[in-house]
Amino acid sequence: MRMLTLSCVVLLQLFVFARGGFAAEAVDIGSRLELFVDHYLVGELDGAELRLHHPVRSGVALAFDRPWEGIVSGYVTVMYDRGKYRMYYRGRPMTTAADATEQAHEVACYAESVDGITFTRPHLGFYEVAGTRDNNVILTQPKTVTHNFAPFRDTRPGVPADERYKAVGGTGKAGLIPFVSADGIRWKQLQEGPIITKGAFDSQNNVFWSKHEGKYICFFRTWKHGVRWITRTTSDDFLHWQEPTDMEFGDAPNEHLYTNQTEPYYRAPHIYIGTAARFVPGRWALTPEQEKAIDLHGPQNYSALGGAVSDAVLITSRGGTHYDRTFLESFVRAGMDPRDWVARSNYPARGVVPTGKNEMSMYVQRHYGQPSAYLERMVLRIDGFASVHAPYRGGEMITKPFRFSGKVLVINFATSAAGGVRVEVQDEHGDAVEGFSLDDCPLILGDNLEHVVKWKGGGDVSALAGRPVRLRFVMRDADLYSLRFR
């Protein structure tokens, strides 16, 4: 009798699990925007998949052609700041000198834009560099800082006006030294010594205020398992930092991630988006004929362009010490230009910013270490890093159980002329909620960033708010980029 009872209990548990019931605790997404850059909301996929999308090349944003900049200008930051686009980057005219030395003449530079498409250099006149004050240089010392000066706008409530902009810079034993600014252009060192010391820092080291975690976070360069690694530390006040912790990548392969370029996604700040530069030493794509055609080994070029290739990958985090690498394939490829099949080309700038009603932009360094070096703008649709994709033959995605707040479901989607999307609201057991079944949902067709889903009875789902539910998407030749309740 006891064995029979235990068997019944086990069968009941298996039944509940199979029905998607209480075996999975419902997460509370409130009215947050949720992107499909990971499996956070994805419960089941049948004939559908998570698909990485790729930004489109959209022209030169800035050519690094001034005497104080040079062919290895880099470590670029782009931010959208209340109607203005700000760009920060390293100028380094002397490529034969070691990093962060006086002989390299490294400086921190500033450019700006009204549209995020093309950038101009303000004539600041702060410092005489390369024989002129007619330049956009904002910092010349210390050299360990100008090597990789990385600013951000501090959005923490209560920050003093003269510290609204902050930055860090530094390499090796010098550590990361803090700077502050009232206007993002005129900078002063906040304290004499470094604020973070346990790291290699020989890259772009990025700090931001996280509303999601309620603290400052710094992602910086270290080494682990023989490759360039990413480590993070946190602080409540920007000056005093916790013991650093290496980031985890799950079962992703160990790869050199040269820059992390991590920051909160501007539409969903609980999701950190990293457009990381992937460096692959020991590989080479150019033929001897191509090397000759671009004069790869000429004296005008940086001497360390050979023996490696690089591209960019998408990494994400929802806080804590875990990076998600759902997509191992390249996010930004080198492309058909042989000048980009060299070491350290194709490195993204930090920053994904809105540049139009339907688009957002990121920026990528091209032709690194060559006289034609420039920063390229690349464009994605809003929320368009990745999607739940269904092919022509069709597919489904059922979310994990979750709770929400709001009145209507809004989706960012696109279909072909022959495709479409239908949505069903299910209870936590997987049963369709009356009035919100698949049959109640008219076919959704088109391409829309903010489509309000409706059923025969309308789109009001407020009666279901706070209850554990699931969403079932039945799709054909379609992409679902994001969803939210509002």
Q: What is the pLDDT of residues 131-187, one digit of tens each?
A: 999 999 999 999 999 999 999 999 999 999 999 999 999 999 999 999 999 999 999
Please count the structural domains in the chain: 2
Q: Is 62 exposed, middle or buried (0-12, 13-18, 19+ CB in 10 A)?
A: buried
Identify the band that residue 3 occupies on the pLDDT scale cut at 50, 70 and 90: very low
**For residue 50, what pLDDT is reported?**
98
Q: 359 with 294, same domain?
A: yes
Is residue 3 situated within a structural domain? no
Categorise residue 78: left if φ over 0, alpha if ψ from -120 to 50, beta otherwise: beta
Residue 121 has pLDDT above 80, yes or no: yes
Last residue in a domain, options 380, 412, 441: 380
Is residue 182 situated within a structural domain? yes
Q: What is the pLDDT of residues 228-275, one digit of tens each?
A: 999 999 999 999 999 999 999 999 999 999 999 999 999 999 999 999
Q: 197 with 240, same domain?
A: yes
Is residue 452 situated within a structural domain? yes
Q: 256 with 372, same domain?
A: yes
Task: Name the residue range of residue 441's domain.
Answer: 20-53+386-485
Is residue 459 situated within a structural domain? yes
Report yes or no: 365 and 373 within 8 Å, Cβ to Cβ.
yes
Last residue in a domain, options 380, 407, 437: 380
CA angle 177, 178, 184 (to 5 degrees): 130
Is residue 12 situated within a structural domain? no
Q: 198 with 146, same domain?
A: yes
Is residue 2 situated within a structural domain? no
Q: 49 with 61, same domain?
A: no
* CA gyration radius, the chain: 25
Is residue 15 situated within a structural domain? no
Q: 319 with 449, same domain?
A: no
Residue 195 has pLDDT above 60, yes or no: yes
Q: 240 with 113, same domain?
A: yes
Is residue 163 situated within a structural domain? yes
- Please report, in angstroms and rounded to a whole number, the separation of the first and last CA atoms in the chain: 52
Report yes or no: 463 and 484 within 8 Å, Cβ to Cβ.
no
Question: Residue 209's domain is classified under what CATH number?
Answer: 2.115.10.20
Q: What is the pLDDT of residues 315-331, one digit of tens each?
A: 999 999 999 999 999 99
Identify the band that residue 15 occupies on the pLDDT scale cut at 50, 70 and 90: very low
Q: 248 with 361, same domain?
A: yes
**For residue 21, what pLDDT is reported?**
43
Identify the band that residue 24 occupies on the pLDDT scale cut at 50, 70 and 90: low
Q: 280 with 217, same domain?
A: yes
Sheet harboring 165-169: ordered strands across? 150-153, 165-169, 177-181, 187-189
Q: Cα torsion at 324, 327, 328, 330 (round to 10°)?
A: -120
Q: What is the pLDDT of residues 344-398, one digit of tens each?
A: 999 999 999 999 999 999 999 999 999 999 999 999 999 999 999 999 999 999 9
Q: 235 with 290, same domain?
A: yes
Question: Residue 401's domain is classified under what CATH number?
Answer: 2.60.120
Last residue in a domain, options 380, 399, 419: 380
Q: How far apart (Å, rounded) are the C-alpha atoms in residues 345 and 352?
A: 19
Residue 22 has pLDDT above 80, yes or no: no
Q: 64 with 207, same domain?
A: yes
Q: What is the pLDDT of residues 68-81, one digit of tens each?
A: 999 999 999 999 99
Q: 32 with 171, same domain?
A: no
